[in-house]
Chain A
């Protein structure tokens, strides 16, 4: 069976100073994968490559067996992506932002309206549907970003630090929502927070200096901090 998402020998950046080097990664249906690493390790760049925003300098990214590039933009319909900064138009309302995100992903009229109602309920945005995105709190804005990412019911949900900048209560609420939302799709998540990995993911890839340093399965008693401290020496080892 073909993997949902496959990255093979993916590199990015100029040859003299690459930001990512020979990354291999595979995601099957239902997988929940975390990318963990220090600032500048290449997590966000890798996520943008997997979401089709950037094109790799070397190697390839495949979605459902097909190469993800400009020649096959329709493949991006299988992906929902939430970048670090929520891509919302501050001068438009929550509903208008969702309408546009849905149109961009090919949803039309009735299907779009149904999808908007579904995510407004699921992400508890119903009460702020008419508010301008620019007037939302950080927690609500993050929910709007999540709603944009899951609106078209993607097979793969890619999230770049979804709990960054949130207070503990908002962080907990977003984690609960992510747990629910990722029940119907595969999840890739970049984070600094070991709690996010432990609570939401069953596998973790450690990135160090643009390279894949190690990959581990995650269980309740996995000592992520130990893995994080010595990723290079653990390369290839299981949890």
Chain B
């Protein structure tokens, strides 16, 4: 049933205008960023070669564009997720879900996966655009694969977090505002606090940037798994509270 819910959620999002606008906007931004980075790289490539530097297209084109994709996802995911649970409540369709023989956990897992499926076209188009550089430049493919996988999994993490924030509100606009507020806070947290601050662990960039550069660290895996798991548990709890069970 989780798979069916995921497919329905993705289908519902694809039936709306927002999805296609975000996809078109995303494609435009990715193409522009890629070509801008590529132009810069092409301009300095002879000097790099002459100086014997080891920096290549992976460091100067792919990684910066992947970093920009993260920011793009942070902007797009809340727009897709705002209606996931808050929209169901606002429209009264939550009655259809809660009167069906489906558990709250199945609903939450299915919707989180559905949000991820909806962000996949945007992510894959970005990854494929950058992978196309492999025809013209030497790419470090294992690093590229790790960065691309990290980005895809980051999309899943975002689905979990934004779904949780959507579960807290009765109106999609409130869920959107909360999502942008929380994600912006996590995005800026590392620059707002020193590395010794206890809340530094929650800063987003120090966890995502290493894997986009090709460095897989256990502390980052723990961060993403723990926060996504907590978000899913809290979403289930919020749904149970809505029913009056918790």
Binding site for B on A (CB under 8 A): 12, 48, 51-57, 69-70, 73-77, 79, 81, 83-89, 91-92, 96, 100-101, 103-106, 148
What is the distance, in angstroms, from A101's C-beta to the closest C-beta of chain B?
7
Judge whether A73 and B102 touch: CB under 8 Å: yes
Judge whether A81 and B95 touch: CB under 8 Å: yes
Judge whether A148 and B101 touch: CB under 8 Å: no
Judge whether B8 and A103 touch: CB under 8 Å: yes
Judge whether A104 and B100 touch: CB under 8 Å: yes
B16: chain A residues at CB < 8 Å are: 91
> Does B97 touch A at the CB level, under 8 Å?
yes
How many cross-chain pairs have Cβ atoms below 8 Å apart between A and B? 74
Give complex CA distance A171, B192 in Å. Answer: 61
What is the distance, in angstroms, from A162's C-beta to the closest C-beta of chain B?
14
B94: chain A residues at CB < 8 Å are: 53, 87
B95: chain A residues at CB < 8 Å are: 48, 51, 53, 81, 83, 85, 87
A-B contact pairs, 24 of them (CB 8 A): A51-B99, A52-B98, A53-B95, A53-B99, A56-B244, A57-B244, A69-B245, A73-B100, A73-B101, A73-B102, A75-B101, A77-B101, A81-B95, A86-B92, A87-B91, A87-B95, A87-B96, A89-B15, A91-B12, A91-B15, A101-B96, A104-B97, A104-B101, A105-B101
* Top-9 shortest CB links A-B: A85-B92, A87-B96, A104-B100, A83-B95, A87-B93, A55-B244, A53-B98, A91-B15, A81-B99
Contact with A along B76-99 (1 / 0, CB 8 A): 000000000000000111111111
Judge whether A88 and B245 touch: CB under 8 Å: no
Give the residue name and chain of the B residue nearest to A104 (CB): B100
B100: chain A residues at CB < 8 Å are: 73, 76, 104-105
Instruction: For chain B, give the interface size range.
Output: 20 to 34
Judge whether A74 and B96 touch: CB under 8 Å: no
> Does B184 touch A at the CB level, under 8 Å?
no
Within 8 A of A (CB), among B192-246: 240, 243-245
Judge whether A89 and B93 touch: CB under 8 Å: yes
What is the distance, in angstroms, from B77's C-beta to the closest C-beta of chain A?
19
Give complex CA distance A91, B19 in Å. Answer: 12
